[in-house]
Structure 1
Amino acid sequence: MKNKCLYYAGLAVFIMISGCDNQNQSRADSALILQGSTMGTFWRVSLADVAPERKESLQKAVQRQLDDDDRTLSTWKADSVLSRFNRYRGSEPQPVSDDMADIVTEALRIGKKTDGAMDITVGPLVNLWGFGPDKQPVKTPTQAQIEAARAKTGLSHLRVIQRAEGAYLQKDLPALYVDLSTVGEGFATDHLARLMEKEGITRYLVSVGGAVLTRGLNPQGEPWKVAIQKPTDRENAAQAVVDLQGHGISTSGSYRNYYELDGKRLSHVIDPATGAPIQHRLVSATVIATTALEADGWDTGLMVLGEEKAKALALREKLAVYLIIRQGDEFVSWMSPQFRSFVLSP
């Protein structure tokens, strides 16, 4: 789903599994690790109390499901369900899967709560600034180009319709272009969790890119530990460590997925209100929620809003949020009261 040269953008959260690589550790105390690539990023599944003999079949099942998700949600694949909807220039409702309807419904809900800061129709702007399937621009887009792209966006132009025979998406703006990459990793992570439950597995950690979800305890009978990345693209160092307690987590950051243009560092996070990459001091927003999809939606909206509005929204909606803010050459962190209960170490 995402550009392969942006693989490492999803490493804003990373997994800490104590002892699973220790050769002297008994097999019973080790996690069964599955991993691979999808949607322009990496996926990983860590399992407790699962026989090694199941590894090959589970690996294939996970990859098959993620490939199916990519064929549904990708803007990089011309034959995906989403790409076909984006090419459609009419206003008649188009049939989609229940999964597609669910992800768009959740994205529209969060978009409304964030006053449009989380906007899945911002695709024309994402492409204009070089973070989509189109090539990276060689010069900064003009204001006229930005306004032309903004005219093709807007959550109010997209609807989810539920009928007895199934779900539909409808747009009243022919050029509307939906980009689900901001929530795709969370959706896929939740999907992996459902697959594990279907397979009778109840102790697991699943992740796609920067979205993670856990259930049960790790092989040592302890919480699965997930670390929030320090805001740097030079190392995997922990800013904080959390126990998800069966929840999902996702982080959006402006410090890894970027490029330099006309002497400026441009983030992949686009503000729908300005049509340009964000320029404020907030460099990372982490959200813990009931599902990874929900966390993946909120983190993007908070990043767009910036420090003060993000704090106000987190407190108003009682969200579990952890923010990292740049102050000169230093970074400071802020967490909501709901986030504190998940923290194992600051």
Structure 2
Amino acid sequence: MKKNWLYFPVVAAFFMVSGCDQHNQSAGDSALVLEGRTMGTFWRISLAGVDESRKESLQKAAQQLLDSDDRELSTWKDDSVISRFNQYRGSEPQPISDNMADIVTMSLRIGQKTAGKMDITVGPLVNLWGFGPAKQPLATPSQAQIDAARALTGLQHLRVIQRSEGAYLQKDLPGLYVDLSTMGEGFATDHLARLMEKEGINNYLVSVGGAVLTRGKNAEDKPWKVAIQKPTDKENAVQAVVDLQGHGISTSGSYRNYYELDGKRISHIIDPTTGRPIQHKLVSATVIATTALEADGWDTGLMVLGEEQAKALALRENLAVYLIEKQGDGFSSWMSPQFKAFILPQQE
């Protein structure tokens, strides 16, 4: 629905602004930066107060952790845990890790709250429209093709089972195809944060693709600042700046991952109700939550809902949400009362 384990050129929706991760600081004050690739996008960790001598070991540990996540969650790998589940045509519960159980449980909860708009079983439609492992279609899918793909979706066909010996995932529809990429960046960001805590590091900013989480202070002993990018693929410009205060943040946007087909722009964000890419004016939804995983789930559901329903849901669920709508040749923004607590004034 959102990122579909992006193996497309990706630019994160967030970037650090002045005072959080400067590379022109003195050697004694500069942040230690680790970075690499995972899940078809980029990951980055900025650390304050960590000795340069730890860089190699931390870099290795972070990459190994993310590679392990990819082997478990990626639909692009035929032998991943989730791919083996998708290939399975039976209805017996299949063993999964606690991590995957957490992702699916969160996905089902947010899916219910968004009236099914955030749907991790939408994989057949994602693939049909060319945003999964399958190739981009040469023509717009027919209604019959869309209906056939939709018949293989539905959160009601999926359940997590907790037993004394571990967690299991079960489906009652043989062709059900689970795509966890909607939640992948958020989960991986939280996972990196847990790694930093395990390593005794409590001043960090971690990001995977469009998901970010911070803890503590930056190298200047100030709060980490994160900028929300304007919803355009023409420039890197700041729409708003936030202090996450130890929270996670994620953005879903229709302006980065798309292609042209039959003279129309095809967004990678698919509405599971219609089986088609979204068409409304909402171009970006940003959510701040306790974890990056939760933020990553809500932003997708809000994007599919569209501007008015997204605003209503944000207010009803007391979510910290920042929405950007296309208005003529420009944009307009809206933020929930909860989001205002994180916003920082921009400096000229």
What is the one-letter code of the residue matched to 2:36? Answer: G
Give the match for residue 294 of structure 1. Answer: 294
Give the match for residue 194 of structure 2. Answer: 194
Asked if the contact 2:5–2:184 (Cα under 8 Å) also holds between the matched residues in 1, the reply is no
Give the match for residue 6 of structure 1. Answer: 9
CA distance in 1, matches of 2:306, 2:83: 31
What is the one-letter code of the residue matched to 2:15? Answer: F
Asked if the contact 1:3–1:133 (Cα under 8 Å) also holds between the matched residues in 2, the reply is no
SS at match of 2:288: strand
Change in 2 beyond 3 A, CA 1:105/1:197: same
SS at match of 1:131: coil
Give the match for residue 30 of structure 1. Answer: 30
SS at match of 2:28: helix
| 1:59-78 Cα shifts (integer Å, max 9, x gaps) | 00000000000000000001
Asked if the contact 2:186–2:295 (Cα under 8 Å) also holds between the matched residues in 1, the reply is yes
| Number of residue pairs aligned between Structure 1 and Structure 2 | 343
For structure 1, which runs of at least 5 residues remain unmatched after alignment? none
Give the match for residue 216 of structure 1. Answer: 216
Give the match for residue 164 of structure 2. Answer: 164
CA distance in 2, matches of 1:20, 1:170: 44
Give the match for residue 83 of structure 2. Answer: 83
Whether 1:246 aligns to 2:249 is no
CA distance in 2, matches of 1:155, 1:19: 40
CA distance in 2, matches of 1:66, 1:313: 32
The two structures, once aligned, show a CA RMSD in angstroms of: 1.1
CA distance in 2, matches of 1:43, 1:83: 23
Asked if the contact 1:28–1:219 (Cα under 8 Å) also holds between the matched residues in 2, the reply is no
Asked if the contact 1:213–1:292 (Cα under 8 Å) also holds between the matched residues in 2, the reply is yes
Asked if the contact 1:288–1:295 (Cα under 8 Å) also holds between the matched residues in 2, the reply is yes
| 1:74-106 Cα shifts (integer Å, max 9, x gaps) | 000011000000000000000000001010000
Asked if the contact 1:3–1:40 (Cα under 8 Å) also holds between the matched residues in 2, the reply is yes
| 1:107-159 Cα shifts (integer Å, max 9, x gaps) | 00000000000000000000000000000000000000000000000000000
Asked if the contact 2:20–2:224 (Cα under 8 Å) also holds between the matched residues in 1, the reply is no
Q: Offset at 1:6?
A: 3.5
SS at match of 2:315: helix
Give the match for residue 233 of structure 2. Answer: 233
Q: Offset at 1:190?
A: 0.3
Give the match for residue 345 of structure 2. Answer: 345
Alignment of 1:137-152 (within 5 A): 137-152=137-152
SS at match of 2:8: helix
CA distance in 2, matches of 1:72, 1:99: 10
What is the one-letter code of the residue matched to 2:240? Answer: A
CA distance in 2, matches of 1:202, 1:223: 13
Change in 2 beyond 3 A, CA 1:17/1:166: farther
Give the match for residue 16 of structure 1. Answer: 17
Give the match for residue 73 of structure 2. Answer: 73
Change in 2 beyond 3 A, CA 1:219/1:310: same
Give the match for residue 102 of structure 1. Answer: 102
Q: Offset at 1:19?
A: 7.1
What is the TM-score normalised by the length of structure 1?
0.97
CA distance in 1, matches of 2:191, 2:290: 14
Q: Offset at 1:26?
A: 2.3
Change in 2 beyond 3 A, CA 1:155/1:22: closer
Asked if the contact 1:20–1:29 (Cα under 8 Å) also holds between the matched residues in 2, the reply is no
SS at match of 1:89: coil
What is the one-letter code of the residue matched to 2:310? Answer: A
% identity of equivalent residues: 77
Give the match for residue 131 of structure 1. Answer: 131
Asked if the contact 2:36–2:42 (Cα under 8 Å) also holds between the matched residues in 1, the reply is yes
CA distance in 1, matches of 2:81, 2:18: 36
Q: Offset at 1:5?
A: 2.2
Q: Offset at 1:241?
A: 0.3
Whether 1:270 aligns to 2:273 is no
Q: Offset at 1:273?
A: 0.5
